[in-house]
Structure 1
Amino acid sequence: MKAFQVNAPHDYRVAEVEAPTAGAGEVLVRVAFAGICGSDMHIIHGDNAFVRFPRITGHEFAGVVDAVGEGVADVAVGDRVCVDPVTSCGTCYPCRIGRPNVCSALEVIGVHRDGGFEEFVSVPATNVHKLPEYIGLDAAALVEPYTIAANVLDRMQPHPGDRLLILGAGVIGMTILQMARALGIEEIIVTDVINERLTAAKELGATHVLNSREQDVEKEVLALTEGEGVPLIADAACVPALLPQMLRLASPAGRIGLLGFSVQPSDLIQLEVIKKELTLVGSRLNNRKFPEVLALMASGKLDPLALVSHRLPLSDMPGAIDMLDHRPEEARKVLIQISA
């Protein structure tokens, strides 16, 4: 079968590989669609500390169950499914307190084990979620990015009437925007350095957009909030140098959600944190958010296909990577079609 395999940083190709089988407790999924994520790009560039090479990447995918392994009772051949890439041990401290997404033995499909950029992939049966009939397989491949948004918003604990500032209008910023609107957050400010992305953010419901290269973000945000600052700040830009600005822009009792994996240090002014009693939370992957996102998609409150700028076959993966590396302004979400 064909798969997109990364052998080492900057060494990748679409190759013929041996097809997997469904072991005990697993299902074999015939992958229909898979999305390219920023973390896939980090693996390709050698910037992901968790990956083990060689690796078939891809953690955003959906397809049809082709076979079930021994002991699988709740999933059947022919079921249309999407896949939660988070696997956990169930016994460590985070698992015991209901936070398996930071399990001490965490493994992520597409990072620690082979993922969805292949014709068939074997995954734990407990990680598949059946799709309502009115959610297409292309939309279902994008459930996972919305779970990232759902997780960071849950970590920030919005209150009625809270304003939200989203730094970065890439795909994750856009999923946070859509998810926030679906959850009833009405005033949302989005910043980016690419005007095309800001136009898209406006189309998807941002009330204010700011180009941080052309405008004084601090001045504009404080003007929009009557000098109070913003209760909720989501860092979808993932630039460590922006943390001091986030601390200044946060309102008293504000909450800041951090999503980046950068190893670069950030300047943290303790006075800003303490005088406002700010809460800084990390958010990793998702904590059982697939059912919530599927319900919101089924209700029409989320529009995942609005994020898709390109649909390409698996054979075009190298070209898609080149575009994302060198012409990112041309792309939102790139969706790879692997089977019909």
Structure 2
Amino acid sequence: MQAFEVKAPHDYHLVNMDPSEPGDGEVCVRVAFAGICGSDMHIIHGDNAFVQFPRITGHEFAGTVERLGPGVSGVEVGSRVCVDPVISCGQCYPCRIGRPNVCSALEVIGVHRNGGFGGSVVVPADNIHRLPDHIGLDAAALVEPYTIAANVLDRMQPHPGDALLILGAGVIGLTLLQMARAMGLDTIIVTDVIDERLAVARELGATHVLNGTHDDVESRILALTHGEGVPLIADAACVPALLPQMLRLASPAGRIGLLGFSATPSELVQLEVIKKELTLVGSRLNNRKFPEVLALIRDGQLDPLALVSHRLPLREMPDAIELLERHPESTRKVLIDIGA
């Protein structure tokens, strides 16, 4: 069985691995499709502080249950499932108050444990979610990115009529856009520095798109909001240097959702935060958002396959990585067909 293993930063190969046996409360999932995420690229580059090497990466995936461990009930071999990669202890303070995605002993499948870029993967049975009949395994592999969007929007607590500014039209920015549309937000402004990405954002429902290389973003946004600023700002660009601009563009009582893991300090002007009584929230992974996202896909309110720009077999994984690094203007989600 082939798998994609990152042995150390910049050291990755396709390897042969024997399938693992599920233990108590676990199932073995035969992976059908897996998506490459920006955090997978950070692992490859050595920029992920949480990964433990060597590692089979991949936390966006779907497949079928092929073996059950002892004590597992309520699921059958052959069930089509996607997998929530968040594993929490259930005992620590975050878990006790209903925020297991920041568990003190958090583990993430594909980061702390082996993930989906292999023929099969062992996961806790509690982390699998059965698929509605008409959701394909390719679309189901992309549920996880939408849970990221659902989580940060939930953290920002949208009100009816709120406008949303999304910085960055990469995959997370596009999932935020689709999720915001599904939630009923009418005004969604998307910024980026790549016109091709902004064109996709427009196709997916952005009401305004701005290119930071040639548009005066701040004056345009203030004009669009009649000088008031934007109530909701989601940082899908994850560039620390953009925080001062976000503070300036936020409306009084605005909420800013931060998603990046950079260790680079951001300049924070406290006056901007206090005079507007802004709320800055961090958002990590997802807090039990899989059922919500699956329901929206089932009802046709989200289209995961609209994110996919390329499909490649697992044997071409090194080519997929090169594609993502060299052609960001034409590459959105690269979906890996594990069985091809």
Specify the TM-score bucket, using the shorter chain as the normaliser.
over 0.9
Equivalent AA in structure 2 for residue 302 of structure 1: L
Which amino acid in structure 1 is aligned with residue 195 of structure 2?
N
Distance 1:75 1:287 in 2: 22
**Using the alignment, how far apart are the partners of 1:217 and 1:15 within structure 2?**
47
Alignment match, 1:220: 220
Q: Secondary structure at the match of 1:323?
A: helix
Question: Residue 183 in 1 paired to residue 183 in 2?
Answer: yes
1:306 aligns with 2:312: no
Q: In the alignment, is the contact (CA less than 8 A) between 1:163 and 1:186 conserved in 2?
A: yes
Which residue does 1:136 correspond to in 2? Answer: 136
- Secondary structure, in 3 states, of the residue corresponding to 1:166? strand
Work out the CA distance in 2 between the residues paired with 1:84 and 1:339.
21
CA deviation map 1:56-86 (0-9, x unaligned): 0000000000010000001110000000000
Contact 1:177 1:206 in 2 (8 A): yes
Residue 27 of structure 1: CA displacement? 0.5
Kept in 2, the 8 Å contact 1:30–1:339? The answer is: no
Aligned to 1:281: 281
* C-alpha RMSD of the superposition: 0.5
Equivalent residue, structure 1, for 2:50: 50
1:148-227 → structure 2 map (5 Å cutoff): 148-227=148-227
1:10-49 mapped onto 2 (5 Å cutoff): 10-49=10-49
Q: Give yes or no for contact 1:254–1:276 (8 Å, CA) kept in 2.
A: yes
Q: How far 1:339 moved relative to its partner? A: 2.0
1:108-141: CA deviations, max 9, x gaps?
0000000000001000000000000010000000
Task: Report the TM-score, using the length of structure 1 for normalisation.
Answer: 0.99
State the alpha-carbon separation in 2 of the partners of residues 46 and 18 from structure 1.
Answer: 26
Provide runs of 4+ in structure 1 moved above 2 Å: none
Residues 1:292 and 2:292 are matched in the alignment: yes
Deviations 1:284-336 (A, max 9, x none): 00000000000000000000000000010000000000111111112110000
What secondary structure sits across from 1:330 in the alignment? coil
Q: Distance in 2 between matches of 1:338 and 1:20?
A: 17
1:220-267 residue CA offsets vs partner (Å, 9 max, x unmatched): 100100000000000000000000000000000000000000000000
Unpaired runs of 5+ residues, structure 1, are none
The count of corresponding residues between Structure 1 and Structure 2 is 340
Displacement of 1:89: 0.2
Aligned to 1:327: 327
Give, in whole Å, the separation in 2 of the partners of 1:244 and 1:238.
Answer: 13
Q: What CA distance in whole angstroms lies between the structure 2 residues aligned with 1:87 and 1:306?
A: 28
Decide whether the 8 Å contact of 1:52 with 1:112 is kept in 2: yes
